[in-house]
């Protein structure tokens, strides 16, 4: 997205070619950017500059990617073009009002189903207005959508967030030449963006996704005799909440060769089998690990004692009601689990884990978490639908098999 809004040709290496990313690439092509994949896996993106996108000739299909859909709303809102966006059955159930409401203030109009659900027709502002907005809940998606909209608005866009959320967008904006500042205030922090910069093409080396690395890391922790090293994992401090929690549970996670690439901290992580103890995770940790709760719940199922994961309301509006679905994943595999309000309580150390059929509800992270649960369970774990894994992690099953996992028919 940022390369498509820059002037010149950007070179991207290490790109995760999951369905979410490929759908995003198709959308940016439809908006006028030129994208080409080279034989060595490098992607070249010739951007159109801020304000230079064109109206797409067809509906933009974002598949299963809520992140892509919400961020694209921000881009479209500040361009004087008309577009229609849709997605798969899961994405069409997800509410978009949290981005539609603030984006309407810049001059864009939206027409969709109840709650702003897709399909969504978007008419961008003729002259986008900068806004000052305080996020009602911690959401990197909403923040990023507003920053993307602010790129084509004359003046200063200011976003106040009560709790710091992942800041990849801020880092990437700076990498492409935008002026972004962060000021800490009494009730959080304020991110300020100067509108209508000329973004310059830049080379980007994409670090390994910590959310994807989490599955191999937890598998190694749970399976006796395991030792795994994962190279070039992103270690952005606003994304490493899971790693901190696992360390508090007793895990030995060793980071070697720390370095900075493309404005992001990365390093090589080595982990080996460890007996884990239960954990009480405060709500404040959620923004730094919101996608990792299903796999953390699997780790807690094998930990000694009772774990409590607090403040998980945001999980109710993911690809599925991920809070209820995670509880069901554990329960069907003989793990005692409770939901109290927005807290997930997991009683670890059941004598006979496994043997259940997990309903994934078209949610890739639930499917992968169930597959990892099966590696340490006493009885096999079945998964009703693994097709959505490619949304975020193509090649998941072959990679895990290469590490010794027993996974069939995925």
Stretch(es) of the chain classified as CATH 3.65.10.10: 7-205, 210-402
Strand 357-358 and strand 382-383: pairing? parallel
Catalytic residue among 61, 167, 291, 390: 291
Helices and strands, counts by H and E, the chain? 12, 21
Q: Regarding the domain with residue range 7-205, which homologous superfamily does it belong to in the CATH classification?
A: Enolpyruvate transferase domain (3.65.10.10)
First to last CA, the chain: 31
Is 42 exposed, middle or buried, given 0-12, 13-18 or 19+ CB atoms closer than 10 A? middle
The pLDDT tens digits along the chain (410 residues) read: 999 999 999 999 999 898 999 999 999 999 999 999 999 999 999 999 999 999 999 999 999 999 999 999 999 999 999 999 999 998 999 889 999 999 999 999 999 999 899 999 999 999 999 999 999 988 999 999 999 999 999 999 999 999 899 999 999 999 999 999 999 988 889 999 999 999 999 999 999 999 999 999 999 999 999 999 999 999 999 999 999 999 999 999 999 999 988 778 999 999 999 999 999 999 999 988 999 999 999 999 999 999 999 999 988 877 678 999 999 999 999 999 999 999 999 999 888 999 999 999 989 999 999 999 999 999 999 999 998 898 889 999 999 999 999 999 75
Of all helices (H) and strands (E), which one includes residue 44?
Answer: strand 43-48
**CATH 3.20.190.10, applies to 210-402:** no
Q: What is the pLDDT of residue 257?
A: 96
> Known catalytic residue: 363?
no
């Amino acid at each position: 997205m940022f390369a498509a809004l820059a002037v010149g040709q950007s070179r991207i290496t290490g790109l995760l070619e999951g369905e979410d990313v490929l759908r995003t690439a198709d959308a940016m092509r439809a908006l006028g950017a030129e994208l080409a994949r080279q034989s060595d896996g490098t992607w070249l993106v010739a951007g159109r500059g801020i304000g230079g996108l064109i109206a797409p000739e067809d509906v933009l299909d974002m598949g299963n990617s809520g992140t892509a859909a919400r961020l694209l709303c921000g881009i479209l809102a500040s361009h004087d073009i008309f577009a229609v966006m849709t997605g798969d059955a899961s994405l069409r159930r997800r509410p978009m009002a949290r981005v539609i409401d603030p984006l309407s203030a810049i001059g864009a109009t939206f027409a969709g189903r109840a709650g702003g659900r897709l399909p969504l027709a978007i008419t961008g502002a003729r002259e986008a207005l900068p806004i000052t907005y305080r996020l009602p809940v911690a959401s990197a998606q909403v923040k990023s959508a507003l920053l993307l909209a602010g790129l084509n608005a004359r003046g200063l866009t200011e976003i106040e967030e009560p709790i710091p959320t992942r800041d990849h967008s801020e880092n990437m904006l700076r990498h492409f030449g935008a002026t972004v500042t962060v000021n800490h205030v009494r009730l959080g922090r304020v991110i300020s963006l100067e509108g209508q910069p000329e973004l310059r093409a830049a080379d980007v080396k994409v670090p390994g996704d910590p959310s994807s690395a989490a599955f191999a890391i937890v598998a190694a922790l749970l399976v006796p005799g395991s030792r795994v090293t994962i190279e070039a994992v992103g270690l952005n401090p606003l994304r490493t909440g899971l790693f901190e929690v696992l360390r508090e549970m007793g895990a030995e996670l060793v980071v070697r060769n720390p370095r900075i690439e493309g404005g992001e901290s990365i390093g090589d992580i080595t982990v080996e089998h460890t007996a884990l103890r239960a954990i009480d995770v405060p709500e404040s940790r959620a923004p730094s690990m919101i996608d990792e709760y299903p796999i953390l719940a699997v780790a807690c199922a094998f930990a000694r004692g009772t774990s409590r994961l607090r403040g998980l309301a945001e999980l109710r509006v993911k690809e599925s009601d991920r809070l209820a679905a995670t509880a069901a994943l554990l329960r069907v595999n003989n793990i005692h689990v409770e939901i109290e309000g927005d807290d997930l309580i997991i009683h670890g150390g059941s004598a006979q884990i496994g043997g259940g059929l997990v309903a994934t509800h078209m949610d890739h992270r639930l499917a992968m978490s169930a597959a990892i649960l099966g590696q340490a369970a006493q009885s096999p774990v079945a998964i009703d639908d693994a097709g959505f894994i490619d949304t975020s992690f193509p090649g998941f099953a072959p990679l895990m098999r290469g590490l010794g996992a027993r996974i069939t028919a995925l």
